[in-house]
Structure 1
Amino acid sequence: MEINKYIDHTVLKATATEKDIIELCREAKEYNFFSVCVNSGYVSLAAKQLEGSSIKVCTVVGFPLGAMSTEAKVFETRQALKDGAEEVDMVINIGELKSKNFKKVEEEIAAIKKEAGDKVLKVIIETCYLTRQEIMLASEIAVKAKADFVKTSTGFGDDGARMENIELMKKAVEGKAKIKASGGIKNLDTALSFIEAGVERIGTSSGVSIVKELKK
């Protein structure tokens, strides 16, 4: 099994340096991961490092809270794509979802998808802050807004990916969108259990150790 091709090799911590991003890209090339996932300010550096390789640059938008204006998120998306991003992981406005402003949440995702065009858009719903019903709703809204993926977590919330939430998301998207699990995926067993459950992408900063575990 090519587990490396499920992995978005990730560094999103506030203290990440240019050196960290260069090392992330070097590892991505060595282990042939699907992509690297970096904050939008580092997209051009990552794109330069990965030039001539098949590894994609993924970035996050409205990260990690999702509480900024739609205009700010759209602009961040536009700039990231200009800098070389090929995939965008956006954080929904969780407060708007909880305020039952569902149309607003949908319109924001749709606006970012419109900006992203044929590039992959993943919608982070931050499951740890949502009820079961809200997880289903957020996933359904993402599908209606033409998102390509729904994603469990930022990795910066109170909790990460959980199997019961993956099942809810799967039910909600009914094959109309893919699922990305992220947050707290640090070993091979956890990664494999999510893949077996139908997850098509894994976001983790432990990609290297997961692949080494598999090779053992």
Structure 2
Amino acid sequence: MNIAKMIDHSLLRPELTTDDVLRGCEVAARRATASVCVRPSDVPLAVTALRGTGVLIGTVAGFPHGSTTTAVKVAETRALVEAGADEIDMVLHIGRLRAGETDYVHDDIAAVVAAANGCVVKVILENAYLTDDEKVTGCRLAERAGAHFVKTSTGFAPGGATLADITLMRATVSPSIEVKAAGGVRTLDTLLALHAAGATRFGATTTEAILDDFAARERREGQPLGA
């Protein structure tokens, strides 16, 4: 089991300096994570820092509330892809989903998918604000709109990924859609439990601690975990 390749090393906190972002990119490169997820303005910085490492460049659109207009999300997505982003984590319009305006939510996501021009799009539902029925509707709309992942949270809401939400989301979407857990994934035990429930990608800030714990357990067991 390659835990590192399940992690999007998150560098989204608003107070991070340029040096903080560069140090985060160095961690991602050294630990060979799946990606970094950086703020939009940091995409060119991450592209330069991670060139040749195999670490993907992820970023966000409509973040963190999802309430910017579709035109703004589209323009942002196009600019970020042109700047070198490989993956776009977009926030759907939470209020419109709660209002039952499913055509709006679908079309908003579909427009970002089109603007991403083949790059991976992960749709953040921000489950802390949704009922289970709304989570199911959001997942189905994201899949119908062509997204590649559904994602639990931004990490900036009152709650993050839960076992119940991952189980629900995995059961809602088809096998062609992956599930990303974000918000509160700070320990190896949490990551492994959410992985068992169906998550295949994880947003994390405590990447090194998680990977160090995994390596230590493998040494104690004397064989690869998950083999």
Partner of 1:148: 148
Is 1:22–2:27 an aligned residue pair?
A: no
CA contact (8 A) 2:167 2:198 kept: no
Listed as ranges, the matches of 1:1-216 within 5 Å are: 1-216=1-216
Question: How far off its partner does 1:176 sit?
Answer: 3.3
Question: How far off its partner does 1:198 sit?
Answer: 1.7
Matched position secondary structure for 2:185: coil
CA contact (8 A) 2:40 2:60 kept: yes
Matched position secondary structure for 1:153: coil
Question: How far off its partner does 1:154 sit?
Answer: 0.2
Q: Return structure 1 stretches of 4+ with deviation > 2 angstroms.
A: none
Which structure 1 residue ranges, 5 or more long, are not aligned? Answer: none
CA RMSD of aligned residues (A): 0.7
TM-score w.r.t. the length of structure 2 is 0.94
Matched position secondary structure for 1:21: helix
Same amino acid, percent of matched pairs: 39
Question: How far off its partner does 1:186 sit?
Answer: 0.5
The CA deviation string for residues 63-99 of structure 1, in whole angstroms up to 9 with x for no partner, is 1011111111111101111111000000000011111
In the alignment, residue 41 of structure 2 is paired with which amino acid?
A: G
Matched position secondary structure for 2:186: coil
The CA deviation string for residues 157-203 of structure 1, in whole angstroms up to 9 with x for no partner, is 01000011111111110313100000001000001111111211001
Matched position secondary structure for 1:150: strand
TM-score w.r.t. the length of structure 1 is 0.98
- Structure 2 CA distance for aligned equivalents of residues 160 and 210 of structure 1: 17
Matched position secondary structure for 1:184: coil
Structure having the higher Rg: 2
- Structure 1 CA distance for aligned equivalents of residues 97 and 2 of structure 2: 36
- Structure 1 CA distance for aligned equivalents of residues 99 and 195 of structure 2: 33
Matched position secondary structure for 2:103: helix
What count of residue pairs does the alignment treat as equivalent? 216
In the alignment, residue 56 of structure 2 is paired with which amino acid?
A: K
- Structure 1 CA distance for aligned equivalents of residues 124 and 161 of structure 2: 11
CA contact (8 A) 2:186 2:210 kept: yes
- Structure 2 CA distance for aligned equivalents of residues 169 and 2 of structure 1: 23
In the alignment, residue 205 of structure 1 is paired with which amino acid?
A: T
Question: How far off its partner does 1:136 sit?
Answer: 0.4
- Structure 2 CA distance for aligned equivalents of residues 63 and 161 of structure 1: 17
The CA deviation string for residues 102-154 of structure 1, in whole angstroms up to 9 with x for no partner, is 00000010000001121100000001100010000000000000100000000
- Structure 2 CA distance for aligned equivalents of residues 188 and 52 of structure 1: 28
Matched position secondary structure for 1:10: strand
